[in-house]
Amino acid sequence: MKPYQVLIFIAVVMGLLGVLYKAFPNGQLLHKDSEFSIQDSEISVEVSENDTIEEFPVFAEAEVEVEAEPDTVIAKEPEVIIPKIVVDSTTDSRVFLSSFYASLAESGNKVVRVLHYGDSQIEEDRMSQQIREALQNKYGGSGAGLLPLAQTIPSRTVKQQLRMNDRWIQPAQGPKRYLVYGPKRDQRDDGMYGVMGQVAVMNDSLVQGSEELTAICTPLDGRKRYTKWRVFADSSVHYSFAGDSVFLSGQGKVYGLSQQSDTGVIVDNIPMRGCLGLVFTKMDREQLVTFYREQNVQLIIMQFGGNAIPSNKNPGTIQGIVKGLRQQVQYLRACAPQASILFIGPSDMLTQIDGEWQTYPMVPYMDKLLRKMALEENIAYFSLYRWMGGAGSMARWQEIGLAGSDGVHFTRSGARKAGNAVAEWMLEGSEN
């Protein structure tokens, strides 16, 4: 190429570059829904949902000096201000278990019943089992107590099997179940759930053959065997027993089975997975009053609160939930005026904050609110959170195999340790 041709080519190129610079003064080229930008000698790409990076290959071989844009300002979440709660720390709340302690003196002549309601922390009979063992060892009694007709969550205490139409079935294949703490489709309009908050309906219009059913409930813990079967059901349901088997027939509602003794302490494990504990006012009052009175329920344990923590960052929401729990306490007291009530608060729980596993901010706040509510309602309170060691204790429990990887639930060993702690605390109070 001749020299004058080279000069002409350079002039044309420079002219084109000048036009491009005027057209795109910020160094940006727009293409479809994607944006290419050159900043600080690096190339970044933002791609819309309909495009892929492969459609727009980017090459950077030369350094280009371009004035950098100001840093992007990212709005931070407003800091949550947690109100201060003043709680009486001088009162031993076990004073509110005095009527329960007094009833234990009669355990040699009659059944003294304890109901342990809770969320998933007590599934598999966890914690309830240790409370049961401690009370039965000292005051007599045998058997695991109440069992649902369809045991969907395996227990460490009793193995349940169902047989229908001459074959073994899964719980979901048996009678239709309704749960007060379940999804809307599994709830009833009449509140007829029984004391366990769940009912199984034997009716062939729902499940073919479910009007004839055998439930085999085999004790697993090796403790003294139960001496008596009880069935809580409509009068239209007929039943008989043979060993660990109960044979049921008819069309009606079954509210629960019970393996127990004629005297001593019976501790019923009633887990409600995912439940906040705000469901008792949805349960038929007359059913509860009748069961609590006739079965001599002397202690009701409520263990809830943990399910409110992960999804709520607002102190006002936690206040509302504790207010709702207060209403449940008042409702159960009205249904069982002879019974003491013990509330067990949530354990420590972990979440990631700034890349580190830390205690959910609402855990200590809820613990204080629940302690305050318990003292005001004259019921006993056991703080799992404080007993574990407070903030960050769940991480230490994980290190020694007492808590699961989710930072929320105990392992079986951890639940056993926690259950023993509650039982020891209760028994110490009975000796004072």
* Domain end residue (candidates: 38, 55, 72): 55
Q: Say if residue 318 is in the same domain as residue 396.
A: yes
343 and 413, same domain (yes or no): yes
Work out whether strand 228-233 and strand 34-39 pair parallel, antiparallel, or are unpaired: unpaired
- The model scores a pTM over 0.85: no
pLDDT at 24 over 70: no
Q: Is residue 197 part of a domain?
A: yes
CB 37 within 8 Å of CB 28:
yes
162 located within any domain: yes
Above pLDDT 70, what percent of the chain?
Answer: 81
Does residue 175 lie within any of the structural domains? yes
In a domain, 63, yes or no: no
Name the band, by pLDDT with cuts 50, 70 and 90, for residue 287: very high
Selection from 112, 177, 143 nearest residue 426 by Cα: 112
Q: Which two tokens stand for residue 149?
A: 């007709």
Amino acid letter, 322: V
Q: Which of 62-66, 106-110, 172-176 has the highest mean pLDDT?
A: 106-110
Q: Are residues 376 and 341 both part of a single domain?
A: yes
Residues 289, 223: one domain? no
Q: What integer pLDDT is reported at residue 166 of this predicted model? A: 86
Residue at 62 is within a domain? no
- The encoded tokens of residue 248 equal 């049921």
**pLDDT > 50? residue 214:** yes
Residue 299 has pLDDT above 90, yes or no: yes
11 — phi, psi (to 5°)?
Answer: -60, -40
Helices (H) and strands (E) in the chain, counts: 9, 20
Lowest-pLDDT choice from 12-21, 120-129, 265-274, 423-432 = 12-21
**Residue 367 within any structural domain of the chain:** yes
Give the SS3 label for residue 229. strand
Average pLDDT over residues 318-331: 97
**CATH at 428:** 3.40.50.1110
Task: Among 64-68, 89-93, 168-172, 418-422, name the one with the lowest average pLDDT.
Answer: 64-68
pLDDT score recorded for residue 49: 36
Residues 176 and 245 in one domain: yes
202 and 249 share one domain: yes
Give residues with Cβ within 8 angstroms of 371, minimum separation 6: 87, 345, 381, 383
Enter the tokens of residue 237. Answer: 């349901």
pLDDT at position 263 over 70:
yes
Residue at a domain's end among 210, 235, 262:
262
Residue 161 in contact with residue 285, Cβ under 8 Å?
no
333 contacts 148 by C-beta, under 8 angstroms: no
Please tell me the predicted confidence (pLDDT) of residue 53. 31
Q: Mark whether 355 and 410 lie in a shared domain.
A: yes
Question: Is residue 81, in this structure, part of any structural domain at all?
Answer: no
So what's the pLDDT on residue 171? Answer: 87
Q: How many percent of the chain have pLDDT more than 90? A: 68
Whole-number Å distance between alpha carbons of 318 and 304: 13
- At 21 the pLDDT is 52
Residues of the domain holding 135: 90-141+263-432
Let me know whether 300 and 174 are in one domain: no
- Are both 7 and 118 inside the same structural domain? no
Bigger pLDDT: 61 vs 350: 350
Asked which of 76-85, 170-179, 201-210 is least confident by mean pLDDT, the reply is 76-85
pLDDT of residue 76: 47
Q: Are residues 317 and 410 in the same domain?
A: yes
Q: Which of 228, 262, 296 is the last residue of a domain?
A: 262
**86/364 Cα distance (integer angstroms):** 13
Does a structural domain hold residue 30? Answer: yes
Query: How does residue 346 score in pLDDT terms, banded at 50, 70 and 90?
Result: very high
Residue 156 has pLDDT above 60, yes or no: yes
Residue 98: what pLDDT?
A: 97
156-to-128, 144, 151, 269, 407 alpha-carbon distances in Å: 11, 10, 12, 11, 22
Query: Whose CA is closest to 329, among 301, 306, 309, 291?
Result: 301
pLDDT digits (tens, 9 = 90+) for 37-83: 333 333 333 333 333 333 333 333 333 343 444 444 444 455 678 88
Instruction: Count CA atoms closer than 13 A to 247's CA, side-chain side.
Output: 6
- The per-residue pLDDT for 61 is 35
Number of domains in the chain: 3
* pLDDT average, residue stretch 145-161: 93
Whether residues 36 and 149 share a domain: the answer is no
What is the pLDDT at residue 81? 82
Specify the pLDDT at position 173.
87
pLDDT in tens, 215-237: 999 999 877 789 999 999 999 99
Q: Distance (Å, rounded) from C-alpha 235 to C-alpha 258?
A: 17
Residue 70, pLDDT score: 46
Please state which of the ranges 55-59, 176-180, 375-379 shows the lowest mean pLDDT: 55-59
Mean pLDDT in residue range 21-34: 45
Residue 280 and residue 242 share a domain: no
Average model confidence (pLDDT) for the chain? 85
Alpha helices by DSSP H, listed for 24-145, are 98-103, 128-139
